[in-house]
Amino acid sequence: MLELTVEQISMAQSAVDKAAALRLLADVLVADGLVAEGYLVGLQAREQQGSTFLGQGIAIPHGTPETRDQVFATGVRLMQFPEGVDWGDGQIVYLAIGIAAKSDEHLRLLQLLTRALGEDDLGEALRQAKDPEALLTLLQGAPQALALDAQMIGLGVSVDDFEELVWHGARLLRRADCASNGFAAVLQQVEPLPLGDGLWLLHREQMVKRPGLAFVTPDKPIRHLGQPLTGLFCLASLGEAHKALLERLCALLIEGRGHELGGATNSRAVLEVLGGELPQDWPTERVALANAHGLHARPAKILAQLAKGFDGEIKVRIVDTGESAVSAKSLSKLLSLGARRGQVLEFIAEPSVAGDALPALIAAVRDGLGEDIEPLPTAAAPAPTAAVAAVVAHTLSAPAHGSQVQAVGASPGIAMGPAHVQVLPVFDYPLLGESHAIEHQRLQSALAEVRQDIERLIQRSTAKAIREIFITHQEMLDDPELIDEVASRLRKGESAAAAWMNVIDAAARQQEQLQDVLLAERAADLRDVGRRVLAQICGVGELAEPQQPYILVMDEVGPSDVARLDPTRVAGILTARGGATAHSAIVARALGIPALVGAGDAVLLIKPGTLLLIDGQRGRLTVTPDAITVQRAIDDRDRRDKRLQAASALRMEPAVTRDGHTVEVFANIGDSAGTPAAVEQGAEGIGLLRTELLFMAHNQAPDEATQEAEYRRVLDDLQGRPLVVRTLDVGGDKPLPYWPIDKEENPFLGVRGIRLTLQRPDIMESQLRALLRAADNRALRIMFPMVGTVEEWHQARDMTERLRLEIPVADLQLGIMIEVPSAALLAPVLAKEVDFFSVGTNDLTQYTLAIDRGHPTLSAQADGLHPAVLQLIDITVRAAHAHGKWVGVCGELAADPAAVPILVGLGVDELSVSARSIGEVKACVRELNRSDARQLAQAALAVGSAREVRALVEGL
């Protein structure tokens, strides 16, 4: 991210012209390691396309898209030219800000400079600035006021400890757009300051967008560091904005009034004491915007002119965006709202003008603000059953009888039964309530009903995973912030249904935007809870469950949909969308219900009652299977059950083919505590230790000693068996909270794995040191993730070899993961230098087939048995064996019983799988004859699709 600091500034430079100034800037960028020499050409080319003069004596030279590959690291360097440089057309530049950026990061810089650019005479002041600090102060512009309003106060929050309270405070700051995602993690690292009277303060400048203060109190007495805690201030500090507030707070504490804050029961009282922005009790009116292109310049101008005609303050905001209201009289503010067709505008007017202004503004918006408008669609009137509407595009048709559909296997097993198709109900409800008392009552009884219902589910569930999910649902229902927000909407006249759904929707959307995939997936839980309460408010009941065992077909199942099912009647689950990590999939696995997810929208068109057969292991659906297919499936299931039992009995024996060839079977683990369980399941070593989990478990990068202890523990537990460790594989879609990475359009194609750690050699070196120290001459293999070029391998190898001179290890091998097609294609070159390869089929498949491995609808097609992926594995194995090196496979494919014969046939030496699959994989190997497997693999290389490969295996 681009931030301005004094170290980046070179004062008192001089250049005869723009070309000389660009050269000076390029030299500094090169000298500081941000760009390659060729970047100067980019700076010049960019100026040719159009001047980078910004105004107020500032220019922001940057490269062109063609020279982005010359950028090593994003950054800026600033040069002051007190004598001025002519930037063309007589525009004089006193400050040039050279940007090394790989994409559009300069937009962020513009955002930082906006406040300064609004000031008068900035150019002259920049020219006269005497030191970097003065210059930076000028660039930061007028100080921003500290944000503190009712939205940033959370009283009586249900928490058990200090960390949870911090999380709530940070969340309020994030919602008010004062801080970025990850601020909570940053705050957790700060030493809290006890202020007395049970009040504590935490503050941080990192990841702050604008200064703001949140105040949160716990619902029950808690203690922190042995002292009572009645209230916590979380401060997103920037500049001096918070100074006055802190002075006021000190005075308050000296007067002995701290308890007024800790014991406050409403946010108005807190704001009065602290001097924050008191909520205005002004009349409001809402209207939906119907203009085709939203509130663009022309309609906004008409709106602003109309508002200006009233002699009092009028504000407007978009409902449910969480953004604050802006003046309806300012054209630029109106445009900054970015209101789109269909969004609801809320006008807020000073009481003296509200009576005239609000109806006039609402009517003007309804009339289209000078444009012809097409009315917004209105929802159909509800009837308890008519409220259930299909959400499927009608251009699709249901899969034909006898056809097979490939989906994502989310829970193993084979199930058969008639389809019970449920589509999500669409609820229709009024926006405005009857009266506050009635709507409040409606909401309370709906919440009470759902609470009881969830309680019943918790009592009924024997599986811990399910109970935990529903305990989370209960917490969501009782979340004081949600409830507070709904209550405030009810007070404004919204109906219970509208108030509830508006709040749930906004919270779910916010959750969905989180970088962390797992956290983002929890939005499904919020929507699930939201839907249950809404159904209660609207009085829409659940569809009756058929009596005989059936296959439940849904768009996307919420966890509570699944958990509410009776496993004796629900034979299996089939969904149109969703991924294997969704909670519904976890619940299905815990209940032992076979499930397929992500089968595509067409399955929603299957006629209820149609006979379906699902194979959760192979991820396959058969529609109206014939008798032979059914019999085959039943035989398959029986065979598999028997095989698993026999496999488990022989799990400690080696995996040797019928003709005497041994394949090593290792375990994949993420948690260093998982080794004993893996060994107990028959692991002959650890084939993949995913070290990122160790890093994710800490608030900051674990130090060398902490890491060494963890790695030592794994090696000790292995008792002489080998350990293959992968160096840190984060970045892109898996950021570490304490390691900020620029947001990327395509994180899977971005800075991840070795690309990232090579940019942070300090972290990589400390991990390697910890590994080498932990080895104690035991069998240690280190591999690097996401290697795509020979240079990356060289850099990683050289770093390790250099450290090895310091910390000698007798039994060390260095290898790379084959996860990127370029690495597989370069295997003949790399094989001369590495000690081994380990094929990461999860990523190799994603990159070869260009299908996001977590894609909700396409990931079913990302099958590692695709012949294109097999070709790359074949190249890898041939190259490795030609140089006497070994090859393992550690992606999910290694555990797929259909893939084992092919991988063994291709010559793979080691299979590394999750501990619970070891017995089965070993059993698969024992059933093989190596020469048959070779023939099978060769045949697989010659076909055109994964389906054909699977058919070949089945015919074995």
Residue 866 is among the residues annotated as catalytic for this protein: no
Please select the residue that binds ligand PEP; options are 842, 871, 929, 945, rule is CB under 6 A.
Answer: 842
894 lines the binding site for ligand PEP (CB under 6 A): no
Contact region with Mg ion (CB under 5 A), list: 31-39, 333-341, 759-767, 816-824:
816-824
Q: Which is nearer to ligand PEP, 555 or 819 (CB)?
A: 819
Phi-psi region of 361 (alpha: psi -120 to 50; beta: other; left: phi over 0): alpha
Contact region with ligand PEP (CB under 6 A), list: 147-155, 352-360, 446-454, 835-843:
835-843
Catalytically annotated residue among 62, 106, 242, 473: 62
Contact region with ligand PEP (CB under 6 A), list: 53-61, 272-280, 837-845, 920-928:
837-845
Closest approach, Cβ 704 to Mg ion, in A, equals 25
Closest approach, Cβ 410 to ligand PEP, in A, equals 17
Give the C-alpha separation, 500 to 534, whole Å. 8
Q: Which is nearer to Mg ion, 702 or 840 (CB)?
A: 840
Residue 835 touches which of ligand PEP, Mg ion, none (Cβ within 5-8 Å per kind): none
Give the C-alpha separation, 449 to 455, whole Å. 10
Q: Which is nearer to ligand PEP, 730 or 924 (CB)?
A: 730
Check if the beta carbon of residue 563 is closer than 8 Å to that of residue 472.
no
840 lines the binding site for Mg ion (CB under 5 A): yes
Closest approach, Cβ 832 to Mg ion, in A, equals 24
Q: Which of 905, 952, 910 is nearest to 721 (CA)?
A: 910
Query: Taking CB positions, which residue lies at the least distance from Mg ion?
Result: 843
Among positions 32-51, residues that touch Mg ion (CB under 5 A) are: none
Residue 293 is among the residues annotated as catalytic for this protein: no
Distances (CA, A) of 715 to 708, 773, 779: 11, 11, 8
Residue 753 touches which of ligand PEP, Mg ion, none (Cβ within 5-8 Å per kind): none
The DSSP string of 639-657 is: HHHHHHHHHHHTTTS-EE-
Q: Which is nearer to Mg ion, 154 or 840 (CB)?
A: 840
Q: Which of 355, 365, 350, 358 is nearest to 295 (CA)?
A: 365
Residue 583 is among the residues annotated as catalytic for this protein: yes
Residue 417 touches which of Mg ion, ligand PEP, none (Cβ within 5-8 Å per kind): none
Catalytically annotated residue among 168, 224, 473, 583: 583
Among positions 726-755, residues that touch ligand PEP (CB under 6 A) are: 729
Among positions 804-823, residues that touch ligand PEP (CB under 6 A) are: 819
Contacts of 759 (CB under 8 A, 6+ apart): 73, 751
Give the C-alpha separation, 710 to 691, whole Å. 10
Catalytically annotated residue among 203, 296, 436, 881: 296
| Count, residues near ligand PEP per rule CB under 6 A | 10
910 lines the binding site for ligand PEP (CB under 6 A): no
Check if the beta carbon of residue 355 is closer than 8 Å to that of residue 364.
no
Closest approach, Cβ 702 to Mg ion, in A, equals 21
Closest approach, Cβ 891 to Mg ion, in A, equals 7
Strand pairing partners for 621? 405, 614
Contact region with ligand PEP (CB under 6 A), list: 273-281, 574-582, 704-712, 841-849:
841-849
Give the C-alpha separation, 579 to 409, whole Å. 9
Residue 623 touches which of Mg ion, ligand PEP, none (Cβ within 5-8 Å per kind): none
For 394, counting Cβ atoms within 10 Å of its Cβ (0-12 exposed, 13-18 middle, 19+ buried), the class is exposed
Residue 690 touches which of Mg ion, ligand PEP, none (Cβ within 5-8 Å per kind): ligand PEP
Q: Which is nearer to ligand PEP, 399 or 732 (CB)?
A: 732
Q: Which is nearer to ligand PEP, 271 or 730 (CB)?
A: 730
Closest approach, Cβ 921 to ligand PEP, in A, equals 15
Give the C-alpha separation, 285 to 361, whole Å. 9
Q: Which of 41, 45, 32, 79 is nearest to 60 (CA)?
A: 79
Residue 730 touches which of Mg ion, ligand PEP, none (Cβ within 5-8 Å per kind): none
Please select the residue that binds ligand PEP; options are 203, 690, 855, 878, rule is CB under 6 A.
Answer: 690
Please select the residue that binds ligand PEP; options are 61, 735, 840, 888, rule is CB under 6 A.
Answer: 840
Q: Which is nearer to ligand PEP, 406 or 846 (CB)?
A: 846
Q: Which of 331, 338, 558, 294 is nearest to 450 (CA)?
A: 558
128 lines the binding site for ligand PEP (CB under 6 A): no
Residue 267 touches which of Mg ion, ligand PEP, none (Cβ within 5-8 Å per kind): none
Contact region with Mg ion (CB under 5 A), list: 72-80, 109-117, 248-256, 814-822:
814-822
Other beta carbons within 10 angstroms of residue 321's beta carbon come to 13
732 lines the binding site for Mg ion (CB under 5 A): no
DSSP 145: P
843 lines the binding site for Mg ion (CB under 5 A): yes
Residue 664 touches which of ligand PEP, Mg ion, none (Cβ within 5-8 Å per kind): none
Q: Which is nearer to ligand PEP, 13 or 841 (CB)?
A: 841
Closest approach, Cβ 946 to ligand PEP, in A, equals 16
Which value, to the nearest 10 degrees, does the dihedral of the CA atoms of residues 526, 531, 534, 536 take?
-120
Give the C-alpha separation, 603 to 762, whole Å. 51
Residue 890 touches which of Mg ion, ligand PEP, none (Cβ within 5-8 Å per kind): ligand PEP
Contacts of 55 (CB under 8 A, 6+ apart): 117
Reading the block at residue 35, the tokens are 């760009």
Residue 890 is among the residues annotated as catalytic for this protein: yes
891 lines the binding site for ligand PEP (CB under 6 A): yes
494 lines the binding site for Mg ion (CB under 5 A): no
- H/E stretch holding 782 reads strand 780-784
Contact region with ligand PEP (CB under 6 A), list: 42-50, 311-319, 506-514, 834-842:
834-842
Which value, to the nearest 10 degrees, does the dihedral of the CA atoms of residues 742, 746, 750, 751 take?
30
Contact region with Mg ion (CB under 5 A), list: 247-255, 345-353, 652-660, 840-848:
840-848
Give the C-alpha separation, 716 to 723, whole Å. 10
Q: Which is nearer to ligand PEP, 528 or 843 (CB)?
A: 843
| Count, residues near Mg ion per rule CB under 5 A | 3
Reading the block at residue 823, the tokens are 């690495």
Other beta carbons within 10 angstroms of residue 956's beta carbon come to 11
Give the C-alpha separation, 52 to 123, whole Å. 15
Reading the block at residue 594, the tokens are 């076979």
Q: Which of 744, 740, 749, 757 is nearest to 105 (CA)?
A: 744
Please select the residue that binds ligand PEP; options are 105, 664, 717, 843, rule is CB under 6 A.
Answer: 843
Check if the beta carbon of residue 911 is closer than 8 Å to that of residue 903.
yes
841 lines the binding site for ligand PEP (CB under 6 A): yes
Check if the beta carbon of residue 477 is closer than 8 Å to that of residue 447.
yes
Q: Which is nearer to ligand PEP, 99 or 764 (CB)?
A: 764
Q: What angle in degrees, to the nearest 10, is found between the helix axes of 162-175 and 480-491?
A: 40
692 lines the binding site for Mg ion (CB under 5 A): no
Strand boundaries in 263-413, DSSP class E: 284-288, 314-318, 326-327, 344-349, 404-406, 408-411
Reading the block at residue 936, the tokens are 């099978």
Say which amino acid occupies 28.
Answer: V
Catalytic residues, by residue number, are 62, 296, 583, 890
Residues engaged in binding Mg ion (CB under 5 A)? 819, 840, 843
Interface residue list for ligand PEP (CB under 6 A): 688, 690, 729, 819, 840-843, 890-891
